[in-house]
Amino acid sequence: MAVLDVLTYPDPRLRIQAAPVDTVDDSIRRLVDDMAETMYTAPGIGLAAVQVNVHKRVIVIDLSDDHTDLKVFINPELTKRAGSQESEEGCLSVPGIYAAVTRAESITVRALDRNGDEFTLDANGILSVCIQHEIDHLDGKVFVDYLSRLKQQRIRKKLVKQVRRDPTPSASHAPVM
């Protein structure tokens, strides 16, 4: 396994639309393993392949404290969404920035697992938020796109400066995904 480099907003490669996976083979499983290690090392609770500059529809999520509940979503599709919830989000590609985003409260997602078998999952709360956040990444979207233009401009300026310095630690405990 390897820790991969994570693209940082406003890198234009975060805007590339990810392509569906044709066959879930060993190369995809290796990607999943590397993405999991990258997410655990960061640390974060979710990661989309686009964030490590691989433009395929692959997501990993683990909400456990001890890295024992890895969820893999290949070619995920939301088949149902209901209600709405607002929660504070962070993103491994937007280090040190946290903001409230409104998303569907409960969702149903259909995807392939690491063996290529199809499954369906109902999710709400933070898992629902995280799945929606990661599917956005596969579509070239970042959570700051939901904020006002002024806020987006401030975040871009801050992050471009940060690349030259060390990222400033944040006091927020919002999940990073």
Residues that are catalytic: 134
Q: Using the rule CB under 5 A, give the single segment among 22-30, 91-99, 148-156, 163-171 that binds Ni ion.
A: 91-99
Distance from chain centroid for Cα 81: 18
Smallest gap, in angstroms, from Cβ of residue 177 to Ni ion?
Answer: 5
Which residues lie closer than 8 Å to 161 by C-beta, 6 or more apart?
A: none
Q: Which is nearer to Ni ion, 116 or 126 (CB)?
A: 126
Smallest gap, in angstroms, from Cβ of residue 115 to Ni ion?
Answer: 25
Q: Which of 97, 96, 87, 78 is nearest to 136 (CA)?
A: 78
14 binds Ni ion (CB under 5 A): no
Interface residue with Ni ion, options 4, 14, 32, 91 (CB under 5 A): 91
Q: Which of 136, 127, 87, 137 is nearest to 107 (CA)?
A: 127
Q: Which is nearer to Ni ion, 91 or 112 (CB)?
A: 91
Q: Using the rule CB under 5 A, give the single segment among 14-22, 84-92, 104-112, 167-175 that binds Ni ion.
A: 84-92
Smallest gap, in angstroms, from Cβ of residue 66 to Ni ion?
Answer: 22
37 φ/ψ angles, rounded to the nearest 5 degrees = -65, -40
Alpha-carbon separation of residue 2 from 35, 40, 53 (angstroms): 8, 11, 14
Smallest gap, in angstroms, from Cβ of residue 12 to Ni ion?
Answer: 16
Cα diameter, the chain:
44
Q: Using the rule CB under 5 A, give the single segment among 20-28, 88-96, 101-109, 119-127 that binds Ni ion.
A: 88-96
Which residue's Cβ has the minimum distance to Ni ion?
91
Distance from chain centroid for Cα 28: 17
Which parts of this chain interact with Ni ion (CB under 5 A)?
91, 177
